[in-house]
Amino acid sequence: MKLYSYFRSSAAYRVRIALNLKGLPYEMTPIHLTKDGGKQRTPEYAAINPHKRVPVLQLSSGEVLTQSLAIIEYLDDIHPEPALLPADALERAKVRAIAQIVACDIHPLNNLLPLQYLKRVLKHEQPDIDAWYHHWVIEGFTAIEAMIEPAPYACGAHVTMADLCLIPQVYNARRLKVPLDKFPKIAAVDAACQKLPAFDRARPENQPDAE
C-alpha cells in the first residue's frame, strides 16, 4: 500500500495511526501542502485524487481510497484486529459521534484551505484567524469532554476510531496554542494514547517529510 500524506495533516495522522495499530506496512509518499503553491494542486496528484487533499491510500490493486474516516473503516473491515469500532451497535455509534465531532465539525473549519481563504481572500489579520481556530476547537472539545470517561481511552479500555481522530486534533491545538486546561479528560486520553508505539510513530515530527 502507498499512503499519500503530509506530516502536519491531522487527517493523514489519523490514517498513519490506524495503519500502525493494524501492523500494516505501507510506502509513504509526501505531498507538501504549502510548498510551491501546494503539491496537492499539481495535475499529477489531481489525477490520483480529484479533491486534491490528503490522505490518499493506494492499494496494491491500484484502487485509490480517499477521506480518512472512510480509509480507517476500510482498514477495519479488511483487517479486523485490533478492532477500531466496537461490535455493539450502540457503542459503535458513540465512537463515530466523537470521531465525527472532530472530523466533521472542528477540522473542516480549521483546515488549511479555510484558513488560507480567511487570510488571502477575506483579508483577515492573523490574530483574527487564530481566534477563529481557537473558537471551533474549544466548541468541539467542550462537547467531547462531556462525552468521554477515560478508561483509559476515549470510549473505554480499547483504542477506537474516536482516539484516532481526537489525538491529532489535540496535537494541532497545542501547536496553535489553544488553551486546554478546561479539558482534563481529553488530556488524560491523549496521555494514554501517547504511550502506545503506534501513536508515537505516527506523530508529525516522526515523519520523513517533517520540517
Regarding whether 162 and 77 lie in a shared domain, the answer is no
pLDDT at position 167 is: 98
Three-state DSSP at 52 gives coil
25: DSSP letter? -
Residue 151: inside a domain: yes
Residue 78 lies inside a defined structural domain of this protein? yes
Number of domains, the chain: 2
28 in the same domain as 57: yes
Query: Starting from the edge strand earliest in sequence, which strands make up the sheet with 2-5, in order?
Result: 27-30, 2-5, 56-58, 64-66
pLDDT in tens, the chain (211 residues): 999 999 999 999 999 999 999 999 999 999 999 998 899 999 999 999 999 999 999 999 999 999 999 999 999 999 999 999 999 999 999 999 999 999 999 999 999 889 999 999 999 999 999 999 999 999 999 999 999 989 999 999 999 999 999 999 999 999 999 999 999 999 999 999 999 999 999 999 999 999 8
* CATH code: domain of residue 73: 3.40.30.10
**What pTM value is reported for the model?**
0.96
Tell me, yes or no, whether 211 lies in a domain.
no
CATH number at residue 176: 1.20.1050.10
Instruction: List the domain range (segments joined by +) for residue 102.
Output: 89-199
- What is residue 186's predicted lDDT score, i.e. its pLDDT? 98
Write down the pLDDT at residue 211.
81
pLDDT at 196: 98
User: Are 71 and 10 in a shared domain?
Assistant: yes
* 178 and 108 belong to one structural domain: yes
β-bridge pairing 27-30 and 56-58: unpaired
Distance separating alpha carbons of residues 24 and 1, to the nearest angstrom: 9
Q: Is residue 153 part of a domain?
A: yes
The residues with which 156 forms a beta bridge, in sequence order, are 153
Residue 131 shares a structural domain with residue 66: no
One domain, residues 108 and 174: yes
From CA 23, how far away is CA 180, in angstroms rounded? 32
Task: Look at residue 41 in the predicted model and tell me its pLDDT.
Answer: 94
Give the domain-ending residue among 65, 82, 99: 82
Q: Are residues 69 and 129 in the same domain?
A: no
The pLDDT, as a whole number, for residue 61 is 95
The last residue of a domain, from among 82, 98, 127: 82
